[in-house]
Chains A and B, each alone.
Chain A
Amino acid sequence: QVQLRQWGAGLLKPLETLSLTCGVSDGSFSAYYWNWIRQPPGRGLEWIGEIRHSGSTIFSPSLRGRVTLSLDKAKKQFSLNLTSVTAADTGLYFCARAVYDGSGSLDSWGQGTLVTVSS
């Protein structure tokens, strides 16, 4: 059973860079696509972007230009960087595994990281 464990700084000042990493254990890394999703306080889920094993990426248009995704195949980790954060970027951030085998789903999720942006 795959497990995703994520980590990164939880308190940022405006204009700093948010950096989170997600580690994948007990499962194939190359057969899946790796996603980030966030959730502002008291609100719904927002998809941030996806990175494939090839390294190709696709992002939400609302965040394109500020977001970078990367992966480390040897360590079975993938990372999110979001630059120039503001209070609007405050929320719970999740990593998740995407499966596209006849359909689509995010079948495994990290535990979530609360990120607060405040001066």
Chain B
Amino acid sequence: DIQVTQFPSTLSASVGDTVTITCRASQGIINGWLAWYQQKAGRAPKLLIYQASTLENGVPPRFSGSGSGTEFTLSITSLQPDDVATYYCQQFTSYPWTFGQGTKVEI
């Protein structure tokens, strides 16, 4: 199985800050087949980014993804109160699909 390590586990920042979350895979992720999700408390996850850097329709452009190989990042610029949530990455290179442990973003 591909292990996905996500850090930090918790992140506290101020409105307007830029924050970065990192996912590191135990094996190379082929063709950037990695997605990022946002999950608010008690809700289903919401797709933010796929193929490492492609923004899902309707997602604000303050969210961006980058990376290749084994290291990927999600950045949120100009952090907003609505961005309070837990963020997960997920690899789609090989089954079983695996998620990072999650990063809780607080303001």
Contacts and interface: CB of A to CB of B under 8 A. Distances in A.
Contact of B44 (A60, A105, A110): A110
A58 B44 CA distance: 22
B102 A45 contact: yes
B98 A47 contact: yes
A103 B54 contact: yes
A94 interface: yes
Interface residues of A, number: 24
Contacts of A61: 1, 96
A44 B50 contact: no
B45 interface: yes
B7 to A, nearest CB: 13
A99 B98 CA distance: 16
B96 A60 contact: yes
A50 B97 CA distance: 10
Contacts of B96: 47, 58-61
B45 A109 contact: yes
Interface in B55-99: 56, 88, 90, 92, 95-99
22 contacts: A35-B97, A44-B99, A44-B102, A45-B39, A45-B45, A46-B99, A47-B97, A47-B98, A50-B97, A58-B95, A59-B96, A99-B50, A103-B31, A103-B32, A103-B50, A104-B35, A104-B50, A106-B35, A106-B45, A107-B50, A107-B56, A109-B46
Interface of B: 1, 31-33, 35, 37, 39, 43-47, 50-51, 54, 56, 88, 90, 92, 95-102
Interface of A: 35, 44-47, 50, 58-61, 94, 96, 99-100, 102-107, 109-112
Given A45-B90, A103-B32, A106-B45, 7 more contacts: A44-B100, A103-B33, A103-B35, A105-B35, A105-B50, A105-B56, A111-B44
